[in-house]
Amino acid sequence: MKLQITNYKLQHFKFKIQNSEFKFKNCRVFALLLTAYGLLLTPGEAHAMHISEGILPVNWAALWFAVSIFFVAYGLRRLKILSRTDLSVKPLVGLLAAIVFVISCMPIPVPTAGTCSHPGGTAIPAILVGPSISVLVAAVALLIQALFLAHGGLSTLGADIASMGVMGAFTGFAVFKLLRRFHVNLSISAFFAGMLSDWAIYLTTSVELAAAIRGDAAFMPLFTKIVIAFVPTQLPLGILEGVMTAGMVSLLARRRVDLLVKLGVIEPEHAGETA
């Protein structure tokens, strides 16, 4: 009798393990189904967030060009210095440039708002190779998009570089460094850097737009209106950008921790910490 009970308990335990495995597999299937649903319900035509051609008056377009050209030139100089001293940086910059380009022209449907928008992606290179090189990478991506993908415009390129490149990169970099100074985990620091970088991009776009189109109207009410209009789309998208940034940084930390130590992203004493 005792043996039978023990046997039953063992089988029951086996069943519990099988059941938990089954539930875990089911969760993955469910997540895949949700993603497929999201993608299937997205129509083909989708646009994104850059300020389109002709929206900014000439004086404002020229001002943002003047601001961004300084950062682009500095980024070019930094890249030259960095690649002269360390050749292994080149493939990393190439990878980051491709990532920023793909991410910033990928319209993501946001069900909470029923609109599409895209992450900036500039926090990732800002954390890994510095904010100035991130501005350069963003400028190249934005130029290609403005020329061939009807995405942004040539006259508004300066404003788009200032928001996505300069503000996105420098905010992401500053947040990451600040959190790391307080010994926050690598992935969590990268998450907040990505999320706040995304929100900073849209705050800057709101400033650029409100300042340029307000005419004689007051700046603050229009700025607030634009920011509020961005919130339903950008709030969840910022969180997604945070997840993407954390994923990319922790993946590189697992695969090439030596490179991250060399670039100063991780301190040598924290090289073992990968997530």
Looking at residues 179 to 238 of the shown chain, list those that interact with another protein (rule: CB under 8 A): 205, 209, 212-215, 217, 222, 225-226, 229-230, 233-234
Among 69, 88, 220, 221, binds another protein (CB under 8 A): 88
83 binds another protein (CB under 8 A): no
Among 153, 158, 165, 238, binds another protein (CB under 8 A): 153
By C-beta, is 90 or 178 nearer to another protein?
Answer: 90
- What is the rounded distance in angstroms from the CA atom of residue 207 to the CA atom of residue 220? 9
- What is the rounded distance in angstroms from the CA atom of residue 227 to the CA atom of residue 200? 11
Looking at residues 117 to 146 of the shown chain, list those that interact with another protein (rule: CB under 8 A): 117, 144, 146
CB of 210 to another protein, least distance (A): 8
- What is the rounded distance in angstroms from the CA atom of residue 185 to the CA atom of residue 250? 10
Tokens representing residue 187 in the block: 């992935």
65 binds another protein (CB under 8 A): no
Among 107, 185, 236, 261, binds another protein (CB under 8 A): 107
Q: Which H or E run contains 247?
A: helix 219-255
Among 106, 140, 188, 243, binds another protein (CB under 8 A): 106
For the chain, the first-to-last Cα distance in angstroms comes to: 50
- What is the rounded distance in angstroms from the CA atom of residue 138 to the CA atom of residue 159? 12
Selection from 42, 168, 160, 153 nearest residue 108 by Cα: 42
34 binds another protein (CB under 8 A): yes
Looking at residues 242 to 261 of the shown chain, list those that interact with another protein (rule: CB under 8 A): 255-256, 258-259
50 binds another protein (CB under 8 A): yes
147 binds another protein (CB under 8 A): yes
Q: Could you tell me which stretch among 92-100, 185-193, 238-246, 260-268 binds another protein (CB under 8 A)?
A: 92-100
CB of 175 to another protein, least distance (A): 23
Pairing between strand 108-110 and 115-117?
Answer: antiparallel
- What is the rounded distance in angstroms from the CA atom of residue 271 to the CA atom of residue 260? 9
- What is the rounded distance in angstroms from the CA atom of residue 204 to the CA atom of residue 88? 34
111 binds another protein (CB under 8 A): yes
Q: Could you tell me which stretch among 12-20, 65-73, 128-136, 175-183 binds another protein (CB under 8 A)?
A: 12-20
Tokens representing residue 234 in the block: 């950008």
How many C-beta atoms surround the C-beta of residue 9 within 10 A?
10
